[in-house]
Structure 1
Amino acid sequence: MEELISYLLQFGHFNQKQIDLVKAKAEERFLPQGEYFSEAGKIAKHIAFVQEGVLMICYYNNKGEEIVHHFVDENHFVVDLESFNHKISSMIYIRAVTDCKLVSFTFESFKELSGIIMDWDKIINKITIKTLLDKVNVEQPKLHTDAKTRYLDFLKNFPNLANRIPLVHIASYLGITASSLSRIRKNIR
């Protein structure tokens, strides 16, 4: 729980009562590897802060193949924001790639914090903007590079993920086959 508070304090100030309120509204939760945090076709009812572990945001193409959109690791929030905020069916899956320890909020408890803590929405907005900008900065260069460069960029941008995520998921994220990724890895050693 302290990791969440430290993270939030990077974006704004809370007094002790507000910190206690955030802790009271949060629930520590364990999500085993392979389990879904959120599923397509359902409304996202929780937002969580990742204390430990890695989750992936993915969807299935028309051939039924799992396509990894991105990964979420420690010290980041995970949610299908559109589904969560607007109470609409999700278009994506969020699944644990590793065992995960999360600090989770229900929609109701998150909104309650918004109504009680004056700067809550401002702080959450800053976090959302930072997250989106970080994602754009990682995704943008990926669009115009070859597979080897995408993999090297992945290693540079996510050095602590490469040994924690199965190669098949990394390959999907990079938009290549697992066998192509194996060849690339073999050639750069």
Structure 2
Amino acid sequence: MTIKLIATDMDGTLLDQRGQLDLPRLEKILDQLDQRDIRFVIATGNEVHRMRQLLEHLASRVVLVVANGARIFENNKLIQAQTWDDAMVDKALVHFKGRECRDQFVVTSMNGSFVKEGTVFTDLEKFMTPEMIEKLYQRTNFVDELNSDLFGGVLKMSMVVGEERSSSVLQEINDLFDGRVRAVSSGYGCIDILQAGVHKAWGLEELL
């Protein structure tokens, strides 16, 4: 069998417990893979900005399947994106109105990440350095109201509800959308809300 591609996740896989990446080691691996004409792919729930921050000068040497498969970048260029139906976006915004700050509700879109003004992200120190947390706040758009006109297409939504509420909120969201949108746990009491059928494995299949 000829290996043509190697794919990995980030959190708990390529990253250490502090969310750090061993860039010198990865660069040596990429050099060896290039010699064998093997592509290296990272499939992750993170968005492209954090990936470029982590990978630094190596970002253009890997293929990025980000936002749980919703976007694919090669050589730092977008080659595919899958966005939500407008009706689903509006339904979610109406449903979560009034609890955006409490639940740390984030809309990840083609135009960046949007949250309601007043939102404070908790527990980030579990998997990010202080520098990463500061940059996250800098590149996040804090707005008075979340409005679909801002987004240019939604890739996914996410929430932080705590371990004790995670199961009930997962059920709430999955009941709300009748299978067209799926909520999944991403650990630490965090929930990703994804278009049904769009996930990391789907993104990898599209890439292949």
TM-score normalised over the length of structure 1: 0.25
Query: Higher RCO, 1 or 2 (CA under 8 Å, sep at least 6)?
Result: 1
Q: Tell me which protein shows more helix as a share of its residues.
A: 1
TM-score normalised over the length of structure 2: 0.23
Q: Tell me which protein shows more strand as a share of its residues.
A: 2
